[in-house]
Structure 1
Amino acid sequence: MDAAHYPAGIIERAARIRLLAFDVDGTLTDGGLSFDSDGRESKRFHVQDGMGIVLLRHAGIEVALVSARPSDVTALRAKALGIERVHVGERSKLVCVQRMASEIGITLAQIAFMGDDLPDLAALRGVGLALAPADAHPWARQAAHWIAPRPAGYGAARDACDLLLHAQGKLEAILERGEHP
């Protein structure tokens, strides 16, 4: 998204963010759940979302995954992206986000959360920057400060990463370097 298209209030909120936490199913994935005949789960992740997460981490912004569903696939994706803060089986995503804020020594105003549905509402309402994919449920869209132009599992997370990198003045250096960190 072109920088001129970000509302000023969103840039102000995004400039303060030190941790971006993502819901997984319906945010980093398209929300589909696939199981083979042996009950093994598979998920589809978008490579651009992964690159955005890597760029955030290299820019000094922490990333976390917070999911209500326990999932080995989520843990494997997090490991591949170097994400250390992986919270699965979380009944209250807001409590999880509050716990991370305390551990890191930041306020909720310095946390962004991207979610797509009812289990994400409390976290969306409690953080400094609430984000939702374009195809999020209307409840999540209503709670969001900013809605990504792309849907979940198809670049919405990358849109959120690019927003933070732009707002914090880190995008130009990445583009100038023009290569993987």
Structure 2
Amino acid sequence: MPWSPLPAFPAHLHATAAGIRLACFDVDGTLTDGQLYYDHEGNESKAYFVQDGLGLKLLQQHGIHPVLITARNSQSALRRGADLGVETYIAVGDKLASVQALCAREGIGLGQVAFLGDDLPDLAPLCAVGLAVAPANAHPWVAERVHWQTRAAGGRGAARELCDVLLAAQGKVDAVLARFGA
């Protein structure tokens, strides 16, 4: 029996999720908990949730292109993207323009894009894409403008929730589970 999208995912969005070809993720506050750590030399570090990373890899393996897009000039984000083999853009001043350029390159429309973001720099792409998603701990001004808000917080599984929903809506869960011996 195929797994269905999470019960908290609105039924009216299943068709939209089934058509997603590009999944864009903000980094700070979505793939991380939003905290920034600096050592005595000013080097920045962040924690990334391993299940979110597997979710991004599963999207790649099943025909959905994941991309990391952050406004911060974050070497940590570049490293995480490289570790996962995920296309990553840092120091992005206009996230919507970046998403539009990716759409043009991939030959898809904004309606085939999901975007996970948590704060004001994410509003423009969130308001333009087919599936706008925010983590549970998103800023309220963002949360009230998205199609769906995850149960998990940023850096605590929000990205994985979105990945799982996309995979389920596209009928890929059985193939994912089979790969892991289920």
- TM-score band by shorter chain is over 0.9
Q: Distance in 1 between matches of 2:41 and 2:132?
A: 37
Q: Distance in 1 between matches of 2:6 and 2:124?
A: 30
Partner of 1:160: 162
**Structure 2: 5+ residue stretches without partners:** none
Q: What is the DSSP-based 3-state SS (H/G/I as helix, E as strand, rest coil) of the residue aligned with 2:105?
A: helix
Q: Distance in 2 between matches of 1:4 and 1:93?
A: 28
Tell me if structure 1 keeps the 8 A contact 2:6–2:165: no
Alignment of 1:26-175 (within 5 A): 26-84=29-87, 86-175=88-177
Q: What is the DSSP-based 3-state SS (H/G/I as helix, E as strand, rest coil) of the residue aligned with 2:153?
A: coil
Q: Distance in 1 between matches of 2:50 and 2:15?
A: 28
Offset at residue 92 of structure 1 (A)? 1.1
1:108-140 per-residue CA deviation (whole Å, 9 max, x = no partner) reads: 000000000100001100000001101101111
Normalization by structure 2: what TM-score?
A: 0.94
Q: What is the DSSP-based 3-state SS (H/G/I as helix, E as strand, rest coil) of the residue aligned with 1:39?
A: coil
Whether 1:22 aligns to 2:25 is yes
Q: What is the DSSP-based 3-state SS (H/G/I as helix, E as strand, rest coil) of the residue aligned with 1:112?
A: strand
1:70-116 per-residue CA deviation (whole Å, 9 max, x = no partner) reads: 111110000011112x1111111111101110011100000000000
Percent sequence identity is: 49
Q: What is the DSSP-based 3-state SS (H/G/I as helix, E as strand, rest coil) of the residue aligned with 2:144?
A: helix
Offset at residue 4 of structure 1 (A)? 6.1
Q: Distance in 2 between matches of 1:90 and 1:161?
A: 23
Structure 1 outlier segments of 4+, above 6 Å:
none
Q: Distance in 1 between matches of 2:103 and 2:44?
A: 31
Tell me if structure 1 keeps the 8 A contact 2:5–2:164: no
Tell me if structure 1 keeps the 8 A contact 2:49–2:157: yes
1:125-157 per-residue CA deviation (whole Å, 9 max, x = no partner) reads: 000000110110111111111111100000000
Offset at residue 2 of structure 1 (A)? 6.0
**Structure 1: 5+ residue stretches without partners:** none
Q: What is the DSSP-based 3-state SS (H/G/I as helix, E as strand, rest coil) of the residue aligned with 1:143?
A: coil
CA RMSD of aligned residues (A): 1.3
Q: Distance in 2 between matches of 1:36 and 1:113?
A: 31
Which amino acid is 1:170 matched to? Answer: K
Which amino acid is 1:79 matched to? Answer: A
Which amino acid is 2:163 matched to? Answer: C
